Amino acid sequence: MTPTGPIVVLGSANMDLVTRQPRLPAPGETIAGTGFATGAGGKGLNQAVAARRAGAEVTFAGAVGDDGFGRELRAFLEAEGIATAHLRTSAQPTGIAQVSVLADGENGIVIVAGANGEDELTDGDRAAIAGASALVVQLERPLALVERALSAARAAGVRTVLTPAPVDGAAARLLPLVDVLVPNEPEALGLSGAADVEGAARHLSERVGTVIVTRGPRGALVAREGGILATVEAVAVDAVDTTGAGDTFVGVLVARLVEGAVLDDAVRAATAAAAIAVTRPGAAPAMPYRAEIEAALARRVGTGGATRSTRS
């Protein structure tokens, strides 16, 4: 039976402080930027927004400060229709991310955890997780907190999804608690110790249920039980800002999976959504709505997009 509870996203909520600039400065160098903006971000918040805009019911579990940024982030989540009963107000300041968006659309990010460093998992959080259709976590919250949340989900029979970012070798201990692992290429290599991405995907898929390695303009690689199941091609677009593309992918992927979509279809939808997101500036504000994703998928009918690989 398909679970009917909301997706619970336990993760970070940051205020993004975004500069647009031609390149990263050298040490000691000052360069001129071309723009500045603030916006809602954090990997957890981003994934929650992506899942909600894709049509899922979503509960966000996190922490923000008792400050202007915290109040703005709470209001943003509520305006998106995301439940915030498990978004606590901390004595620590709201987390921030300083995002440098370069001329080619690539980005560099520095995060300051602030309230995201809180590591309490309350009885109420555990109850929300136990009633979820899926638990989605990342590594911008303390590792011990993420481990407790995954353990609670596993005990309740709830599907677990981990984005291992920022990559941390100690996170390998989480893998037995993970049903779906979604790293990008550097994260897959760092977590597995493998020399190449396919090898990393195979290795990691021997320790978790399913591994989906996101590869930016090269799409995604899907592995299970030590074998490569499929590659899914990316949608060719002119990228404006790649911030949040991976989070868009994860949120849409999980939204589709809890609806009962088969894995290939869920990955194709996630890939299409990420392609839309990178054509717009910002992270959460750039994420597409379900109708946009459906339109993008309709345009791909008859063009393929998934290449089956023989398991080896």
Residue 38: phi and psi, rounded to 5, are: -115, 155
Residues placed in the known binding site for ATP: 184, 214-219, 246-247
Residues placed in the known binding site for K(+): 241, 243, 277, 280, 282
Cα dist from 55 to 39, 49, 82, 257, 292, whole Å: 22, 10, 11, 12, 12
All domains in the chain, ordered by first residue? 7-13+42-94+115-308 (3.40.1190.20)
Residues placed in the known binding site for substrate: 14-16, 42-46, 140, 247
**Whether the Cβ atoms of residue 124 and residue 43 lie closer than 8 Å to each other:** no
From the list 104, 125, 247, 265, the catalytic residue is 247
**Whether the Cβ atoms of residue 149 and residue 135 lie closer than 8 Å to each other:** yes
Q: Is 247 a catalytic residue?
A: yes
Query: What is the residue-level pLDDT of the chain in tens, covering all 312 positions?
Result: 445 799 999 999 999 999 999 999 999 999 999 999 999 999 999 999 999 999 999 999 999 999 999 999 999 999 999 999 999 999 999 999 998 989 887 888 898 999 999 999 999 999 999 999 999 999 999 999 999 999 999 999 999 999 999 988 889 999 999 999 999 999 999 999 999 999 999 999 999 999 999 998 888 999 999 999 998 888 888 888 887 899 999 999 999 999 999 999 999 999 999 999 999 987 888 999 999 999 999 987 544 444 444 343
Cα dist from 174 to 10, 59, 217, 250, whole Å: 15, 22, 28, 18
Angle at 160 between CA 207 and CA 222, to 5 degrees: 55
